[in-house]
């Protein structure tokens, strides 16, 4: 049984990933800074990301970073956290997934314009977009690291039910049957946990849409 560590296990994305990883039979350990977070279904480690050491992450087949930043004060921390985790896993056989943001998706096959570069991109999400894009750059510049960058759809719905289906793409915008870039947290978690076994996007980004 593969061992999966989920950093930020208490967040919305992290919680969905924990649930899906358990559903698929993985041995799950959750990492969370909030010492009030409890989950009897998994092993728990209460530590800040920057307190994590190589020993903390040793023995895992997969580490998923699902930490989120939502304020101007914390935006710069996303890339720093990714850098710290990447350094801990560099030179190991542990695969790192980082949950990012939709801003880096190219708008079409010309690959000239990203969503976050368009005039219609919501200003209130620009800080998050820039923060998560910086984490993507950290991964691309990393050495001796097995990584995958996960790009949610533009509309990322925390309240959507798990449908059990999705369509995968790379780093270009893809749309569902209704013409929307949309996915629920549970279905993106499904796509991520499925990718642990599929191994289609090692050293690459991927996105997914659902209905």
pLDDT tens by residue, 123-176: 999 999 999 999 999 999 999 999 999 999 999 999 999 999 999 999 999 999
If one compares 19 and 1, the residue with the highest pLDDT of the two is: 19
pLDDT tens by residue, 16-47: 999 999 999 999 999 999 989 999 999 999 99
| pLDDT reported for residue 86 | 99
Instruction: Report the CATH number of the 3-209 domain.
Output: 3.40.50.720
| Nearest by Cα to 64 from 104, 134, 17, 133 | 17
In the prediction, which pLDDT does 72 show? Answer: 86
User: For residue 193, what pLDDT is reported?
Assistant: 99
Q: What is the pLDDT of residue 70?
A: 85
pLDDT attached to residue 7: 99
Counting residues of the chain whose pLDDT is more than 70, the rounded percentage is 100
Nearest-5° angle of CA 60, CA 91, CA 142?
105
Quote the pLDDT of residue 60.
Answer: 99
Pairwise CA distance, residues 206 & 195, whole Å: 10
* DSSP 8-state symbol, 8: T
Distance CA 174, CA 176 (A): 7
Q: Is the pLDDT of residue 188 over 90?
A: yes
Quickly state the pLDDT bin for 120 (edges 50, 70, 90).
very high
Check whether 96 has a pLDDT greater than 90: yes
User: What is the 3-class SS of 27-91, one letter each residue?
Assistant: EEEEEECCCCCCCCCCEEEECCHHHCCHHHHCCCCEEEECCCCCCCCCHHHHHHHHHHHHHHHCC
pLDDT at 69: 86
SS3 of residue 148 by DSSP: strand
Percent of the chain with pLDDT over 90: 95
């Amino acid at each position: 049984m593969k061992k999966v560590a989920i950093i930020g296990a208490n967040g919305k994305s992290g919680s969905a990933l924990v649930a899906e990883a358990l559903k698929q039979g993985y041995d799950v350990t959750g990492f969370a800074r909030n010492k009030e977070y409890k989950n009897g279904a998994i092993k728990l480690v209460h530590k800040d990301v920057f307190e994590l050491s190589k020993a903390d992450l040793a023995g895992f087949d997969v580490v998923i970073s699902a930490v989120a930043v939502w304020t101007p004060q914390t935006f710069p921390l996303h890339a720093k956290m990714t850098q710290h985790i990447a350094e801990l896993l560099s030179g190991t056989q542990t695969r790192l997934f980082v949950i990012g943001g939709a801003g880096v998706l190219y708008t079409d096959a010309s690959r000239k314009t990203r969503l976050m570069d368009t005039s219609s991109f919501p200003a209130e999400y620009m800080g998050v977009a820039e923060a998560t894009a910086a984490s993507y750059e950290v991964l691309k510049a990393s050495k001796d690291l097995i990584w995958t960058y996960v790009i949610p759809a533009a509309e990322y719905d925390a309240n959507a039910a798990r449908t059990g289906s999705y369509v995968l793409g790379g780093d270009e915008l893809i749309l569902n049957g209704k013409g929307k870039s949309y996915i629920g947290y549970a279905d993106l978690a499904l796509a991520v946990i499925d990718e642990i076994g599929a191994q289609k996007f090692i050293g690459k980004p991927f996105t997914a849409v659902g209905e």
